Amino acid sequence: MYDGTTRPPFSPPATRRRRFRRATAPAVALALSAALLGGCGTARDTAGDAEPAATAAKGFPVTIDNCGIRTTYRKPPSRVLTIHQHPAELMLALGLKDRMIGTAFPDSSVLPHLRKDYEALPQLAKKEPSFETVLEAGPDLVYGGYASAFAENEGRSRKAFADAGINTYLNREYCGKKQVSMQDTYDEVRTIGSIFGVRDRAAELAADLKARVDRTTEAVKGAPAVPVFVYDSGDKAAFTAGGKSLGTEIIQRAGGRNVFADLDKVFGDASWEQVVDRKPEVIAIYDYAGAGSVEQKKKFLLSQPALADVPAVRNKRFVVLPLTATLVGVRPPYAVEELARALHPERFR
């Protein structure tokens, strides 16, 4: 059963949870306390199974342990297909556009400085592409953002790709972790940097992202924490971000307080009575394909008589965050800054 530890993507609330149960196979990351990097994607140089130096790329081979699957790369992948938007943005941020043959499943706006490169990528499908479509593209690596990228019931299991001679990598957020953090975003960047032989570039990017977060948290230091309600979707109940979500950490670092931080899940349902009782002053609306537009969500919230006295509704104080901004990748540090400016505008004048 879905235990709320990960967030199923891009479906109406009820069907989304059913889909998550079908698509997410149990995946337990290997315990690698001595590995170079933490989290579900770890990297280290290997020597025992290396090819002769004449045939191995400089700095390779590199072995990655990802969600319980170990892969040895003897050279950087050169034909990469990303499934879901956030892996594509991470690769573009690392300057790896020339290694990408396409992407699939866009769901929200792209970071402005990456938009031109993202739009230039061939889009194989509006959702997850079929196994046959991927094979036809001829990648040497498929990088998936959600577990559904490798849905066994849809013929896209990681084993099926391995049998076809194609390596796979899954975003560490879906490696069965009970909770992810901002540190996971930095570790994901470094792991991908190791796979592609751009460790220095990845270290610099991770440091820049961390510095962005640190500057923002310093700017709001000492400000009263603003109570924030995350509205993902739902009408009979509010589907919201719980205490185990990266969204909760984003809110905290931005000088806010998730009013449902006590919900012991990544995502879960809350009653509208609870929303009223907790008096959020700001509502963060998650924006992504398949759950109604932001305007539809605002219209719904503003039309509910029971919510009329909620401070955020009464004052029409809404903040829009692309869902990708709350996922392990390059977006969360930008989300911290964007949200902080909305919660504490006086600190950024």
**Looking at the domain assignment, is residue 300 inside a domain?**
yes
**Looking at the domain assignment, is residue 72 inside a domain?**
yes
Exposure on the CB side of residue 183, measured as CA atoms within 13 A: 6
Contact 144, 171 (CB under 8 A): yes
Residue 139 shares a structural domain with residue 266: no
**Looking at the domain assignment, is residue 295 inside a domain?**
yes
Residue 187 shares a structural domain with residue 309: no
Contact 314, 94 (CB under 8 A): no
Residue 197 shares a structural domain with residue 252: no
Domain that residue 343 falls in = 223-348
Final residue belonging to a domain, choices 211, 239, 257: 211
pLDDT at position 45, please? 46
Give me the tens of pLDDT residue by residue for the chain, a chain 349 residues long. Answer: 334 444 444 433 333 333 333 333 333 333 333 333 444 565 554 433 434 444 567 889 999 999 999 999 999 999 999 999 999 999 999 999 999 999 999 988 899 999 999 999 999 999 999 999 999 999 999 999 999 999 999 999 999 999 999 999 999 999 987 789 999 999 999 999 999 999 999 999 999 999 999 999 999 999 999 999 999 999 999 999 999 999 999 999 999 999 999 999 999 999 999 999 999 999 999 999 878 899 999 999 999 999 999 999 999 999 999 999 999 999 999 999 999 999 999 999 8
Residue 184 shares a structural domain with residue 149: yes
**Looking at the domain assignment, is residue 7 inside a domain?**
no
What pLDDT, in 10s, does the model give residues 9-46?
443 333 333 333 333 333 333 333 333 344 456 555 44
Q: Which residue has the tokens 């509704």?
A: 313
**Looking at the domain assignment, is residue 217 inside a domain?**
no
Residue 132 shares a structural domain with residue 274: no
Residue 166 shares a structural domain with residue 243: no
**Looking at the domain assignment, is residue 241 inside a domain?**
yes
pLDDT at position 160, please? 98
Q: Which residue has the tokens 């930008």?
A: 334
Contact 326, 6 (CB under 8 A): no
Residue 40 shares a structural domain with residue 164: yes
Residue 75 shares a structural domain with residue 199: yes
Q: What is the pTM of this model?
A: 0.84
CATH of the domain at 342: 3.40.50.1980
Contact 266, 348 (CB under 8 A): no
Residue 185 shares a structural domain with residue 46: yes
**Looking at the domain assignment, is residue 275 inside a domain?**
yes
Final residue belonging to a domain, choices 169, 187, 211: 211
Q: Which residues pair with 62 in a beta bridge?
A: 45, 73
How many domains is the chain built from? 2
Contact 279, 227 (CB under 8 A): yes
Residue 110 shares a structural domain with residue 206: yes
Who contacts 66 (Cβ-Cβ below 8 Å, separation ≥6)?
29, 40, 41, 42, 169, 170, 172, 175, 191
Final residue belonging to a domain, choices 176, 211, 246: 211
Residue 278 shares a structural domain with residue 195: no
Contact 21, 36 (CB under 8 A): no
**Looking at the domain assignment, is residue 310 inside a domain?**
yes
SS (H, E, C) the chain: CCCCCCCCCCCCHHHHHHHHHHHCCCCCCCCCCCCCCCCCEEEEECCCCCCCCCCCCCCCCEEEEECCEEEEECCCCCCEEEECHHHHHHHHHCCCHHHEEEEECCCCCCCHHHHHHHHHCCEEECCCCCHHHHHHHCCCEEEECCHHHHCHHHCCCHHHHHHCCCEEEECHHHCCCCCCCHHHHHHHHHHHHHHCCCHHHHHHHHHHHHHHHHHHHHHCCCCCCEEEEEECECCCCEEEECCCCHHHHHHHHCCEEECCCCCCCCEEEECHHHHHHHCCCEEEEEECCCCCCHHHHHHHHHHCHHHCCCHHHHCCCEEEEEHHHHCCCCCHHHHHHHHHHHHCHHHHC
Q: Which residues pair with 22 in a beta bridge?
A: none
Residue 54 shares a structural domain with residue 159: yes
Contact 316, 297 (CB under 8 A): no
